[in-house]
Amino acid sequence: MITLYTDGTPNGHKVSIFLEEASLPYRVAHINIMKGDQFKPKFLKISPNNKIPAIVDTEGPGGKALALFESGAILIYLAEKTGKFLSPDPRLRIETIQWLMFQMGGIGPMFGQAHHFRKYAPEKIPYAIERYTKEAARLYCVLDRRLGESAYLAGDYSIADIATYPWVRWHDVHGQKLEDFPNVHRWYNQIHDRPAVKRGMEVPGNLEADWAEDEEAWNVMFGNAQYERR
């Protein structure tokens, strides 16, 4: 049995979508990141970087339990475990991992910064807002060009698409309009309509609270609370 430690964030939804797509049995352990559950010792034994998602698979390699953190690593592990959404063909496999790394190294960090400075920063910093909004637009252009060549990021629907979709869902917060990127828009709608994606996006729900209006939650997420626990 797999236990998914998660909250309603794009990174968390990557793994819940995969689990639903692959029809893997799992249970959910909700880590309320606004309340600081990610800093509790029990969770840190599983995810030492105090980030969600993380999993524990009681039927890991060799029949031994495996704890794993980092969403990209989890997706690769689950894809290899199930033989789904990561092609065994060497060329398609490395292309899929390439676009997964594009999400991990580019889309996640840059979209996250655009989100932060546009919505959650305690003061509006024009330089930061402009820099990350423009970088988000550039990355949407990269996606749009790729999706003009291929129905999905790496041929067939794969872990690269599963990883990227939850971040594109927040396009308006990144200061972007999907209508400006027709290939991304087409791809987004195709994935959005998948029943397993809809189920995965509901686990454990969407984290949409306005941290800017909740001083305690903002401090846990962005302030000194996380550094006081070193």
The average pLDDT across 25-44 equals 94
* Rounded mean pLDDT, 156-170: 97
Predicted local confidence at residue 120, as pLDDT: 87
The CATH architecture that domain 2-84+201-226 belongs to is: 3-Layer(aba) Sandwich (3.40)
The CATH number fitting domain 90-193, selected from 3.40.50.300, 1.20.1050.10, 1.10.760.10, 1.10.10.10:
1.20.1050.10
Q: What is the pLDDT of residue 63?
A: 94
CA distance 171 to 136: 9
Give yes or no for residue 225 having a pLDDT over 90.
no
- For the ranges 1-15, 62-76, 215-229, the lowest mean pLDDT is seen at 215-229
Radius of gyration over every alpha carbon of the chain, rounded to an integer in angstroms: 18
Specify the range with the lowest mean pLDDT, choosing from 47-51, 105-109, 215-219: 215-219
Neighbours of 189 (CB within 10 A): 10
pLDDT per position as a tens digit, 188-217:
999 999 999 999 999 987 655 555 567 777
